[in-house]
Amino acid sequence: MSLTDLSASTGKLRDLPFMDLYVRIDKQDLARYRVAARDYTNNWTRVLPSEYQDDASRIAMDLRGKIENPDSAYEYDGMRFRLSFQRLANLQEWVILRKISSRVPKLEELSFAPHICTHLRRLGLRDGLVVISGATGHGKTTSSFALLADYLQNNGGVGITVEDPVEFILDGPIGDHGYCYQVQVDSNEDWSTPLKRTLRWTPRYIMVGEVRSPRAAEQILRAASTGHLVITTIHAGSIEESLMGLMHLAEQSMGNSANYILAQGLTAAIHQTLGASGPFLRYIFTEEGNNGDPVRALIRENRIGMINSYIDKQIARMNTLHPSAQKR
What is the per-residue pLDDT across 82-106, written as a single tens digit (0 to 9) for each?
899 999 999 999 999 999 877 899 9
User: pLDDT value at position 279?
Assistant: 84
Query: Which pTM was predicted?
Result: 0.84
- Report the C-alpha gap between 152 and 130 in whole angstroms: 16
- Residue 193, CB half-sphere, CA atoms under 13 Å: how many? 7
Residue 100 carries which DSSP code?
Answer: E
- Report the C-alpha gap between 227 and 222 in whole angstroms: 9
- Report the C-alpha gap between 121 and 107 in whole angstroms: 8
All domains of the chain in start order, with CATH: 3-100 (3.30.450), 107-321 (3.40.50.300)
Residue 210 CB neighbours (<10 A):
16
User: pLDDT value at position 207?
Assistant: 97
User: pLDDT value at position 261?
Assistant: 95
Per DSSP, the three-state class of 288 is: coil
In DSSP notation, 226-238 reads TT-EEEEEEE-SS
Q: What residue ranges of the chain have pLDDT lower than 70?
A: 1-10, 37-43, 187-188, 322-328
What is the per-residue pLDDT across 121-163, written as a single tens digit (0 to 9) for each?
999 999 999 999 998 878 899 999 999 999 999 999 999 999 8
In DSSP notation, 151-212 reads HHHHH-EEEEEEESS--S---EEETTTEEEEEEEPPTTS-THHHHHHHHTT--SEEEES---
Q: Which residues contact 118 (CB under 8 A, 6 or more apart)?
A: none
User: pLDDT value at position 8?
Assistant: 42
Q: What is the dihedral of CA 230, 233, 236, 238, to 10 degrees?
A: 50
User: pLDDT value at position 312?
Assistant: 85
